[in-house]
Amino acid sequence: MQVYILLCFLGAVTCQQGRQFPEGFLFGASSSAYQYEGAWNEDGRGPSIWDVAIHNKQSVITDRSTADIATNLYHNYKNDIKLMTEVGLDFFRFSISWSRILPTGFANKINQAGIDYYSNFIDELIKNDITPFATIYHWDLPEKMQEMGGWTNPAIVDFFLDYAKIIFDNFGERVKFWVTINEPEPVCNNGYGTGIHAPFLNLSGIGEYMCAKNVLLAHARTYELYQKKYKYQNGKIGITLMSEWLEPYNSSAAEDRQAAYDMLLFNLGIFADPIFSKTGDFPQIVKKMVAEKSLKQGFPRSRLPTLSEDEVELIRGSADFMGLNIYSSNLVYRNESVRGMYPVPSFKDDAGVGITVARSWPRSNFERIQFVPWGATKILMKVKELYDNPTVYVTENGWPNNGGFDDEDRVHFLASYLNSIMEAVNRGCDVRGYSVWTLMDCFEWINGYTLKFGLYQVDYSSPNLTRTARKSAEFYKNITTTRYLLRDYDYNERDVVVNI
């Protein structure tokens, strides 16, 4: 409040031109074990599907790099936590590597060195007044689990539960924010559908749906376990979903409006509806479309598995919050040209829509990310409408570029998106926190180290992997200390005028 008054008094901006974040709103930065830790085979860690895939075939990664060392967080975490305090983080979102805790994925052999590492890491965060925000699974499945079919094998649900139990037993007294699974959409669609992420399986039109059901069950059983056995630890437990905002290509065309809605349900709804809607099931439209196509294609039943009544009961309401990773938007259309556009069967063919971007949207160096700040307001408003205004944490938001310290483009992106997120808050969305992707440049999956997302640059050519603050670190520090977004960035007011 004082800061607000002071800013008004100083006349640095007029009060209407800025945005005060609500009391209690939390700011963080996000990371993941595989992208940060390195030490891939140290102190008893077992291999994950990414280790195996990359080591077998380095050409799957654009720059033929590996994450064997990555940012070296494993050895450098004490210094890195100093950077977190430098930017004034309230929380740090990190993930736990399943195969560092259980080298084969099975719970018969716990790797004490892995437990110690996370335990020390969590203690160090707390000592520095940074709240640990932990993800139990961020894409690095133990290789052994994959040898048994990974996320397409229903047995994974019990194995995941065994792992989660060990996590809560060891860290639950100190960690009060849990994400079960990060972005199930790419886990399933990229890992088992199109095969562009580990385990690089192309089981298009079938594998991604089998995966989706098992992910939902693993999540919901973990939530149930927490409620039954660990409630006394007083934490909140949610899931992090990813959704681009999907705008009709031509908003006056009914087909395009329907196409955008359908795609939203295929993308977000497959995971969000069962957990956050009253039905507790896959979206009706998705069920119908996949069933019809499956039958036409000669399958004896829908390629989308069913959820039994008991499963629906288990999954419905199984989250205290929705984590949302917000980056970009797409335009969606449906017309004759879409026919034959995708492999059959496939998730995209089932949705039957064309997806593109507007030429006017500024692009990053990553084809998936365009600068569309108003999309953040729209997706948040849609979530509010569809799922009865759940508590949301924006668990990721960030902008990649080729590097350099003067990252005005990132500052502009972050400021504009924060502004749009605040617009949603002012319209009643229950957003409680925001986490930037990411603290420092790290391993960006198949893009290796070519995409720089960090508030801090990591000099990968220096022996110590030197970290240096970029302009965006300064910007973010300003936000975390003032809790106020100055309107001196030239984001366009038109960007946040949305018609929903």
Strand 26-30 and strand 431-436: the pairing is parallel
* Closest CB 342 distance from ligand NOJ, rounded Å: 23
Residues contacting 209, CB < 8 A, separation 6+: 188, 290, 303, 304, 305, 347
**Distance, CA of 161 to CA of 391 (rounded, Å):** 25
Task: Please pick, from the candidates 37, 140, 143, 183, the single residue that binds ligand NOJ as defined by CB under 6 A.
Answer: 183
Q: Which of 208, 244, 396, 444 is catalytic?
A: 396
Q: How far is CA 464 from CA 63, 79, 188, 468, in A?
A: 21, 12, 36, 12
Task: Please pick, from the candidates 137, 209, 266, 437, the single residue that binds ligand NOJ as defined by CB under 6 A.
Answer: 437
* Closest CB 117 distance from ligand NOJ, rounded Å: 20
**Distance, CA of 182 to CA of 118 (rounded, Å):** 18
* Closest CB 7 distance from ligand NOJ, rounded Å: 33
Q: Specify the residue, 115 or 465, whose C-beta has the smaller distance to ligand NOJ.
A: 465
Q: Specify the residue, 100 or 303, whose C-beta has the smaller distance to ligand NOJ.
A: 100
Q: Which of 183, 185, 244, 423 is catalytic?
A: 183
Q: Specify the residue, 183 or 350, whose C-beta has the smaller distance to ligand NOJ.
A: 183
Helix axes 408-426, 471-482, angle to 10 degrees: 30
Q: Specify the residue, 257 or 368, whose C-beta has the smaller distance to ligand NOJ.
A: 368
Other beta carbons within 10 angstroms of residue 183's beta carbon come to 23
Q: Specify the residue, 258 or 365, whose C-beta has the smaller distance to ligand NOJ.
A: 365
325 in contact with ligand NOJ (CB under 6 A): yes
Q: How many residues bind ligand NOJ (CB under 6 A)?
A: 8
Structure tokens at 157: 């649900």
* Closest CB 187 distance from ligand NOJ, rounded Å: 10
Q: Which residues, 440 to 469, sit near ligand NOJ by CB under 6 A?
A: 444
* Closest CB 357 distance from ligand NOJ, rounded Å: 16
Q: Specify the residue, 289 or 439, whose C-beta has the smaller distance to ligand NOJ.
A: 439
Q: Among this protein's residues, is 208 annotated catalytic? A: no
**Distance, CA of 457 to CA of 474 (rounded, Å):** 13
* Closest CB 451 distance from ligand NOJ, rounded Å: 7
**Distance, CA of 500 to CA of 496 (rounded, Å):** 12
**Distance, CA of 410 to CA of 403 (rounded, Å):** 10
Q: Specify the residue, 244 or 396, whose C-beta has the smaller distance to ligand NOJ.
A: 396
Residue written as token pair 């059959």: 344
Residue 14 exposed, middle or buried by CB count within 10 Å (0-12, 13-18, 19+): exposed
Task: Please pick, from the candidates 247, 396, 409, 495, the single residue that binds ligand NOJ as defined by CB under 6 A.
Answer: 396
Task: Please pick, from the candidates 21, 32, 190, 269, the single residue that binds ligand NOJ as defined by CB under 6 A.
Answer: 32
Q: Among this protein's residues, is 244 annotated catalytic? A: no
**Distance, CA of 254 to CA of 160 (rounded, Å):** 43
* Closest CB 32 distance from ligand NOJ, rounded Å: 5
Q: Specify the residue, 246 or 439, whose C-beta has the smaller distance to ligand NOJ.
A: 439
* Closest CB 36 distance from ligand NOJ, rounded Å: 10
* Closest CB 484 distance from ligand NOJ, rounded Å: 27
Q: Which residues, 79 to 108, sit near ligand NOJ by CB under 6 A?
A: none
Q: Are 84 and 132 in contact (CB under 8 A)?
A: no
Q: Specify the residue, 142 or 398, whose C-beta has the smaller distance to ligand NOJ.
A: 398
Task: Please pick, from the candidates 65, 182, 294, 364, the single residue that binds ligand NOJ as defined by CB under 6 A.
Answer: 182
Catalytic residues: 183, 396
User: Binding residues for ligand NOJ, per CB under 6 A?
Assistant: 32, 35, 182-183, 325, 396, 437, 444
